[in-house]
């Protein structure tokens, strides 16, 4: 751990505010999606990523990467969504250890129906009151943090 310089005032303020967002935004999005569309925010993300892929199809591991989730988490969720008929799994024709996931027509319809409410929630919860300038700042900041997270994944923290 070596030496650990404490957080300065700005950093502490940023950290507290960020934790507040972290802890509240997830539940808030889940609650909206659950109420309006009977799905989790993560369910929505999975279907949205599929809908944007060619053929509305992706390998599980690729889908996990694009939804920022573990393969295990994805596997459980996909099983649930498959049971609802919103997507279907099938073995990849080219690599037999790969499972591909495809959004069904029904799933696509459900996604389309859920989209406006989702976008409206994101607007209300995140972008309301932010200037265009701040939105650009947010892109830069969040991108840097994501890079930090990716780097730490590899080093399992602390190196």
Partner DNA sequence: GAGAACAACTTGAAGTTTCAAGTATTCCGG
Partner DNA sequence: CCGGAATACTTGAAACTTCAAGTTGTTCTC
In the complex, the residues that contact DNA under the rule CB under 7 A are 27, 30-31, 34, 40, 42-43, 59-62, 69-80, 89, 92, 95-100
CB of 150 to DNA, least distance (A): 16
- Residues 37-66 interacting with a copy of itself (rule: CB under 8 A): 42, 45
Contacts of 69 (CB under 8 A, 6+ apart): 42, 77
Of the ranges 76-84, 92-100, 106-114, 115-123, which one interacts with a copy of itself (CB under 8 A)?
A: 115-123
Look at residue 62 and give the partner it binds from a copy of itself, DNA, none, a contact being a CB closer than 5 to 8 Å depending on partner kind: DNA
Contact 63, 49 (CB under 8 A): yes
The separation between the first and the last C-alpha atoms of the chain, rounded to the nearest angstrom, is: 10
Query: Binding-site residue total for a copy of itself (CB under 8 A)?
Result: 65
Contacts of 26 (CB under 8 A, 6+ apart): 41
Look at residue 121 and give the partner it binds from a copy of itself, DNA, none, a contact being a CB closer than 5 to 8 Å depending on partner kind: a copy of itself
Of the ranges 10-18, 55-63, 94-102, 105-113, which one interacts with a copy of itself (CB under 8 A)?
A: 10-18
C-alpha dihedral sign at 74, 142, 41, 152: positive
Residue of 32, 47, 64, 101 interacting with a copy of itself (CB under 8 A):
32
Of the ranges 55-63, 75-83, 98-106, 147-155, which one interacts with a copy of itself (CB under 8 A)?
A: 147-155
Tokens of 89: 């799994």
């Amino acid at each position: 751990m070596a030496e650990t310089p404490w957080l300065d005032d700005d950093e502490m303020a940023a950290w507290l505010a960020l934790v507040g967002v972290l802890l509240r935004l997830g539940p808030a999005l889940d609650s909206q999606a659950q109420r309006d569309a009977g799905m989790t925010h993560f369910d929505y993300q999975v279907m949205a990523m599929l809908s944007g892929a060619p053929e509305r199809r992706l390998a599980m591991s690729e889908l996990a990467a694009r939804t920022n989730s573990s393969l295990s988490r994805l596997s459980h969720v996909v099983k649930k969504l498959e049971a609802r008929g919103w997507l279907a799994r099938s073995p990849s024709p080219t690599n037999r250890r790969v499972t591909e996931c495809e959004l069904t027509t029904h799933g696509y319809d459900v996604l389309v129906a859920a989209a406006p409410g989702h976008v409206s929630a994101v607007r209300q919860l995140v972008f309301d009151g932010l200037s265009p300038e701040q939105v650009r700042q947010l892109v830069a900041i969040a991108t840097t943090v994501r890079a930090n997270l990716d780097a730490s994944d590899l080093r399992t923290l602390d190196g």
